[in-house]
Amino acid sequence: MQYKLKMTPDQVVENAVKAVQHLKSRGCHDIEFSPEDASRSDIDFLYRVLSEVIKAGATTINIPDTTGWALPHEFASLIAKIKAETPGAEDVVISTHCQNDLGLATANSLAGASAGARQLECTINGIGERAGNASLEEIVMAIDLRGYVLASCFVWPKIQCSSHIVRRMHVLLHGSTYHQHLTVRWQRHVLHGHAVHMEYQV
């Protein structure tokens, strides 16, 4: 906050609340708030800013692991604490947004779901800045095969088709080659570029 935003904690809370109030005043009824770098933030401040934006009208609280720094047990604990300690959290959707810098984006997303997150933000083929985002197809297959208390409603052949389309479009637009080291993809391909994120409702 001090160096990037050049704001005090009070100013950050005030601006966050104003942003949500502005959206609500413009007729938005589905408002998602995402505190950058939540997984490394001061937990008490996180409770505070989240509770204030919920009171202001946020309906989804997105918890990002912005730098891909968290381990799955840490991220699950964070989601559980936010659910338990943030006033109003029981009335909103808790979402995850995990980056893959340590190769744990899918694992962290699943850990978040097991701790109570109901929306997992992910991308087809895991594409995204730096090392990428949580992979849609990995999340779906993990839930489908191992998600004892979670349910998958995706049709696998359509995900396969989407993955091929994204891969071909990326090659067409960027001429990229593919790293052949990740799982679940049909030719073991993964891309890293800017992505439009999908939200997977659990």
% of the chain surpassing 90 pLDDT: 60
Q: What is the pLDDT of residue 202?
A: 47
For residues 42-54, average pLDDT: 97
Per-residue pLDDT band for 194 (boundaries 50, 70, 90) equals very low
For domain 9-155+192-201, the CATH class is: alpha beta
Q: Has residue 196 got a pLDDT over 80?
A: no
Q: Flag whether pLDDT at 10 surpasses 90.
A: yes
- What is the pLDDT, as a whole number, of residue 152? 61
The pLDDT of residue 197: 52
In the chain, where the domains are located: 9-155+192-201
Q: 0.95 cut: is pTM over it?
A: no
Q: Quick: pLDDT tens for 94-129.
A: 999 999 999 999 999 999 999 999 999 999 889 888
In degrees rounded to 5, what are phi and psi of residue 133?
A: -115, 180
